[in-house]
Structure 1
Amino acid sequence: MNNGYITLPSAVIPVTREVDVLVIGGGASGIAAAIAAARGGATTMLVEQRGFLGGMGTVALVPAFCPFTDKQKPIVRGLGLQLMEQMKEACDPAFRKEYQDMLDWVPIDPEVLKRVYDNAVLESGVTPLYHTFVYDVVLSPDRKTVEGVIVVNKTGRSFISCRYIIDCTGDGDIAALAGVPFQKGGEEGELQPGSMCYLLANVDRPKFSRFLEESGDTGQLHTTVELAISEGALPEGRKSISGLAWVSDYLVGVNFGHVFGIDGTLAEDLTRGAIEGRRTAERQLQFFRKYVPGFEHAHMVASGEQLGIRETRRIEGDYILTVDDFITARSFPDDIARNAYYIDIHLANSKSDMTFNHLPPGVSHGVPYRIMLPVGIDNLWVAGRSVSSDRAVQGSLRVMPNCFSMGQAAGTAAVLALQGSTGSRGIAVAELQRRLLEQDVWLGEDRVPAEKEKEKEGNTP
């Protein structure tokens, strides 16, 4: 050991796979990217560090899908909407009946969703590889393409070779390993806090609903939470519950409170966040039992495997989406999705304020293809919350419906690049948009699939 470092001996590492498209990260963006690539005919592998897919929706038990609509119509369609509907169909009859027509804030049944995602990727022809972590990337001699990644798992170390790679880690891990520049957090390095979400069983939803009606408190329990804070039952901080998502009348998912100062790219912070998060969840459980009718006998059946992370790296891409683009509902020639979710930046500490900025109902902005293209690398896409944007817009783009959209676009773009033997910047964006429209992606009222355009023309008097 020398100055705190050791030198490892050189090693010969086996090449275990050679694929057209390699997707790293099995959250919403990775699932959609892998399915889109495989359906397009590319040999596709999806690498995930856990033993299941779903990202924050299953790993961190985020209790509900964020909105798929602009409060008037669904604007996030395609694979994301299809997968959510498949989860509904796989749930019990009472769940299907209650949520069959809902597209916003649909509760997540995490065990059902895990199986839905497994089936979806396998049926599309994706090769999944779970329990596997990316150790490093291997770049071409000119450092403009990623030739593959070194992975570590119970089998050992190995190399996966690829022609194209899609970073869906949520933290821009692959881009960072490839040397792509990035930003992280605010001007002083502050990051949005994490949250430890959990599932409570043995609760009484009808009794809770009567309490809300009789007390006049809201579904976020603002008055009740403030009372508990004033009496010392809860710490200073968030004055309401972010979400109660009722999977059934006796089972509810909870997103409540914050754990501050956690950098999701650091194992030490994730460790501290997990421990502190579980302690916070236990304190919240006691609050529910004491202060909230219907929760007197609540039992915590599961907490997130890790803290829910809202913000880490934002890569530097060919375009940086800005808050002005959001506010003015700007569209772009290379749009691959639409977004209407509000800017949602959580307080960086217990004394600061939260930031919300909503678009009017029926209004959305475009999501340009270029924000997924990291500078300097020609065969890499980044999809999900670490795309190229300013911090304010990241607070809007980061949610699961948007991640599905970006992942589907990245996977479809990789197929186009493969078919044209070109890089990520060499594809015809108009052809990408055409294929996305054929996959039921919505790009705005003025952009419809060619066959539907012909139908409209045929119906014109």
Structure 2
Amino acid sequence: MDSIGEQVSISSQLPVTYEPDVVVLGGGASGVAAAVAAARNGASTLLIEQRGYLGGMGTAALVPAFCPYTDGEKPVIRGVGLTLLERMKEAAGEEFYQRNKDKLNWVPIDVETLKWVYDEAVMDSGASLLFHTVADQVLVNGERIEGLVISNKSGRQLVKAKLYIDASGDADLAALAGVPFLTGGEQGELQPATMCFLVTGANRQRFDQYLKETEQSGQLEKAVVEAQRNGDLPEGRKKVSGIAWISDTVAGFNFGHIFGVDGTKAEDLTRAAIEGRRLIQRQLHFLRKYVPGFEQVHLVHSGDQIGIRETRRIVGDYQLVVEDFLSMRTFEDDIARNSYFIDIHLANANSTMTVKHLPKGRSHGVPYRCMLPKGITNLIVAGRAVSSDRPVQGSLRVMPNCFAMGEAAGVAASMAAKAGAGFREVSVPQLQRTLIEQGAWLGEKPGTADTVAALNERIRFDDET
């Protein structure tokens, strides 16, 4: 965050090229949903993305499947996120659709189709897109962001908006604005990264037969252990997980870990990319040698970047904690429900994973306040960087939840823009009603707090008394 004098100098030197009501930084699941929701609710909206396509981890990192949309009985993620899932299924071709039309959990991602679906959704909403662009500076005046400096092939420019949505996944905009944040565990440990990949030349019928024959004995896991013992795979995770079949011959893999990667550091991302591609070669050797149905596979695509599970978590008006998850708590200002299990991957090759499921058919609330960063009034954060403790981040971080949080952020931004207000002055009941009217599911009856400021004041009073 720069001094006022430096900011005045920057403002006078750089051209102001965009002045929308709402700027969304980051075009992953949360950013797409936020831009669509803000624009279709009447706010002029600009979505800024560093790559030449949308989708974040689902496209750039080749995460092979969407995590569950349901609590085991019904969809808890609806609205924009569910619509986009169904559009991808329909657009991916008749064979793909017939195979997945009734699925809402672990639906394979057809990457190229998903890129196109996201493009169309954002453009149809009326939002504007700016690809190949990064934000490298934030101009702050007191508790308000006054402008965002962006860099691209056109040079450095200044964007001025009324409201800002940080959907970067890493809280990049919030960090630039001086918002306090937490990172990783008590020792700074972070969940490992994964270089996902896509292969062709597989034989699904042969693989399914292999699974059928060895299901009781866990032969696939035994194959991993044997390969590790023989030096064909590195030590670490004992399972081949995250196999998603795009067709009978094409499969995506979320398999293996790269440890000690901080996704906010270019040096770490560089090392992880190199190590990740090197690891894929060993994984391909393993598949061809140990797993029936994959003897003739050919690598067609590795992630444009390593898949990142965890970086910054903002300090917000409320921190969602593991007790809220376990007690399946409902909040007055709920803007989403979450039923995905706590899923914290091992921090090193010798540690273990943490997994905790909620009962079937149950979920907990995600309060609006956990998206509001301390110290800034016209900024909201959506996605895995919201205010939570580390265990809850291991649950909230997945794409379906990011859709839901992004949609809420976009609707809130449109409301604040119309009112000429900040995010804390948004009427929570009106926000909840709008979300429900537009297809979101908030579970139990929403609360009655007039605004977030009123809710925070009541909580403060209750604590004092």
Structure 2 length-normalised TM? 0.93
Question: How does 1:2-401 map onto structure 2 within 5 Å?
Answer: 12-140=13-141, 143-216=142-215, 221-401=220-400
Query: How big is each residue's C-alpha offset from its partner over 1:330-368, in whole Å with a ceiling of 9 and x where there is no partner?
Result: 000000000000000000000000000000000000000
Q: 1:41 to 1:237 in 2, by over 3 A?
A: same
Letter in 2 for 1:101: D
2:269 partner SS: helix
Q: 5+ unaligned residues in a row in structure 2: which ranges?
A: 1-8, 448-465
1:19 partner SS: coil
Question: Following TM superposition, by how much is the alpha carbon of 1:215 offset from its aligned partner in structure 2, in angstroms?
Answer: 2.4
Q: Which residue is equivalent to 1:454? A: none
Q: Which residue is equivalent to 2:435? A: 436
Query: How big is each residue's C-alpha offset from its partner over 1:30-78, in whole Å with a ceiling of 9 and x where there is no partner?
Result: 0000000000111000000000000000000000000000001000000
* 8 A Cα contact 1:220 1:242, kept in partner: no
* 8 A Cα contact 2:330 2:444, kept in partner: no
Q: 1:280 to 1:218 in 2, by over 3 A?
A: farther
Structure 1 length-normalised TM? 0.93
1:425 partner SS: helix
Q: 1:133 to 1:9 in 2, by over 3 A?
A: closer
**Mapped partners of 1:254, 1:286: distance in 2:** 14
* 8 A Cα contact 1:220 1:241, kept in partner: no
Letter in 2 for 1:59: A
Query: How big is each residue's C-alpha offset from its partner over 1:371-393, in whole Å with a ceiling of 9 and x where there is no partner?
Result: 00001100000000000000000
**Mapped partners of 1:151, 1:242: distance in 2:** 38
2:164 partner SS: strand
**Mapped partners of 2:390, 2:445: distance in 1:** 29
Question: Following TM superposition, by how much is the alpha carbon of 1:219 offset from its aligned partner in structure 2, in angstroms?
Answer: 8.7
Q: 1:136 to 1:9 in 2, by over 3 A?
A: closer
Total equivalences in the alignment = 439
Q: 1:218 to 1:114 in 2, by over 3 A?
A: farther
**Mapped partners of 2:332, 2:263: distance in 1:** 34
1:221 partner SS: helix
**Mapped partners of 1:138, 1:314: distance in 2:** 21
**Mapped partners of 1:216, 1:398: distance in 2:** 30
**Mapped partners of 1:32, 1:12: distance in 2:** 33
**Mapped partners of 2:30, 2:376: distance in 1:** 20
Letter in 2 for 1:94: E
**Mapped partners of 1:72, 1:346: distance in 2:** 26
**Mapped partners of 1:36, 1:184: distance in 2:** 29
Structure 1 ranges of 4+ moved more than 6 A = 8-11, 217-220
Query: How big is each residue's C-alpha offset from its partner over 1:62-114, in whole Å with a ceiling of 9 and x where there is no partner?
Result: 00000000001000000000000000000111110010000000000000000
**Mapped partners of 1:213, 1:62: distance in 2:** 25
Letter in 1 for 2:200: A
Question: Following TM superposition, by how much is the alpha carbon of 1:242 offset from its aligned partner in structure 2, in angstroms?
Answer: 2.2
Question: Following TM superposition, by how much is the alpha carbon of 1:412 offset from its aligned partner in structure 2, in angstroms?
Answer: 0.2
Percent identical pairs in the alignment equals 60
1:344 partner SS: strand
2:146 partner SS: strand
Q: 1:217 to 1:297 in 2, by over 3 A?
A: farther
Letter in 1 for 2:359: P
Q: 1:368 to 1:10 in 2, by over 3 A?
A: closer
Question: Following TM superposition, by how much is the alpha carbon of 1:446 offset from its aligned partner in structure 2, in angstroms?
Answer: 3.7
Query: How big is each residue's C-alpha offset from its partner over 1:241-271, in whole Å with a ceiling of 9 and x where there is no partner?
Result: 2210000000000000100000000000000
* Cα-Cα RMSD: 1.5
Letter in 2 for 1:76: I
